[in-house]
Amino acid sequence: MLERAKQLQPMLTELRRTIHKNPELSFEEHETAALVSKTLDSFGIKHKTGIGKTGVVASIGNGKGPKIGVRADMDALPITEITGADYASQNDGKMHACGHDSHTTMLMGVAKLLSEENIDGEIRLLFQPSEENSDDEGKSGATRMIEDDAIKGLDAVIALHVDPSLESGKVGIKDGYLLANADTIFAKIKGKGGHGAAPHMSRDPIFMTAPILTAIHGIVSRWVNPTEPAVITVGRLSGGTASNVIPSDVELDLTLRSIGDDVRKQIVEEVEQALSISKALGGDYEMDVRWGYPALYNDPKVAGWLRNCSTDLLSAENVTESALVMGGEDFSYMAKASQGAMLRLGTWKEGTPQRFLHHPEFDLDETAMPVGTAVLAETALRFVRGQVS
């Protein structure tokens, strides 16, 4: 399978560069979906478009047997690319800085490889929109796909994400939690505005924010069980307009990352407790909690299939154990609804600068794409043939 995937290198490179040049933001993946559809047509693979708004779902096999899904996300980020590559983004302010161009490409590679196989069962290819963002109703691409029955009837679902911390040619796999719950809080500390020279006539919310910030930064170190991973970052703090004016409120935006459901709830309650310091100081607060993606849990059985399959294709020295990272991923919804696991694919080439995901200079080693393509295709094929272990 790896040799067959390597033969696809020119096609994969061309597809990836086409998508990379034409990045589209979340739920706007119209041209990307059209390219996927056209490519699937050329392989003679039946598929449906407009699933989960702008997603594409393809089905390979006769449906009589086990069913597995393989998922790739298609959206880009609102970042201005500065790589200077000749295939750099042609869409101002938009960039494939998370490698989703390669994910989409590799799934087309999987389609090509599997179109040449007889399959009893079903391998369903899930080209998902909007992993990076949610729509007006707070739903991202995975949720919209699930609502449109894209994973209905599947026995398992697998996916991969590029990993620039890992050398090209290697993969990483982990049992259990791979990524975190990723929630957001928009908070407001409310005081009473006034003249900077007469603070006694007002209730200064900037003054109130100082102990609140200290309390927020004490949550993980003092109130969370030290054996439980958690992180809280105040990423935006905004208040005031001039040196001599006391504003009426201060805004704080926070990201909260955790693993289990208990800590997830606890840190939100602790943030509220910290915000309530404002009341003791004669002010008030507002708190708007936006629950984000749940933590991604790699089912150990499914992760084992990916691990064993990778070892067979790539040999043991190229299969590493991944660490938990406190990022978020909406594949977690699919992994929760079915049983699932995500593989990390090394894309950093030694001797090149190591740029991380969402960096305006992010790029990847394209020779990693046949590796990812082969592992996904082989794992899916072994699953429907009852050969996974």
Binding region for Zn ion (CB under 5 A):
98
For the CB of residue 162, give the shortest distance to Zn ion in the complex, in Å: 8
Q: What is the rounded CA–CA span in Å between residue 77 and residue 130?
A: 10
For the CB of residue 115, give the shortest distance to Zn ion in the complex, in Å: 26
The residues, ordered by sequence, that sit 6+ positions from 261 with a Cβ below 8 Å of its Cβ are: none
Q: What is the rounded CA–CA span in Å between residue 365 and residue 145?
A: 30
| Tokens at 311, concatenated | 């070892």
For the CB of residue 36, give the shortest distance to Zn ion in the complex, in Å: 17
98 vs 384, which CB is nearer to Zn ion?
Answer: 98
98 vs 334, which CB is nearer to Zn ion?
Answer: 98
Query: Can you say how many angstroms the Cα of residue 122 is from the centroid of all Cα atoms in its chain?
Result: 25
CA triple 41-366-24, angle to 5 deg: 60
For the CB of residue 79, give the shortest distance to Zn ion in the complex, in Å: 10
| Tokens at 358, concatenated | 């969402």
For the CB of residue 50, give the shortest distance to Zn ion in the complex, in Å: 23
Helix (H), strand (E) at residue 176 = strand 176-177
Q: What is the rounded CA–CA span in Å between residue 80 and residue 82?
A: 7
- In the bound state, the residue with its beta carbon closest to Zn ion is 98
Query: Can you say how many angstroms the Cα of residue 354 is from the centroid of all Cα atoms in its chain?
Result: 20
98 vs 113, which CB is nearer to Zn ion?
Answer: 98
User: Quick one: residue 149, left, alpha or beta (phi over 0 = left, psi -120 to 50 = alpha)?
Assistant: left
59 vs 165, which CB is nearer to Zn ion?
Answer: 165
Q: What is the rounded CA–CA span in Å between residue 215 and residue 94?
A: 37
201 vs 323, which CB is nearer to Zn ion?
Answer: 323
Q: What is the rounded CA–CA span in Å between residue 20 and residue 117?
A: 29
98 vs 303, which CB is nearer to Zn ion?
Answer: 98
209 vs 298, which CB is nearer to Zn ion?
Answer: 298
104-116 burial, b if ≥16 CB within 10 A, otherwise e? bbbbbbbbbbbee
For the CB of residue 95, give the shortest distance to Zn ion in the complex, in Å: 11
For the CB of residue 100, give the shortest distance to Zn ion in the complex, in Å: 6
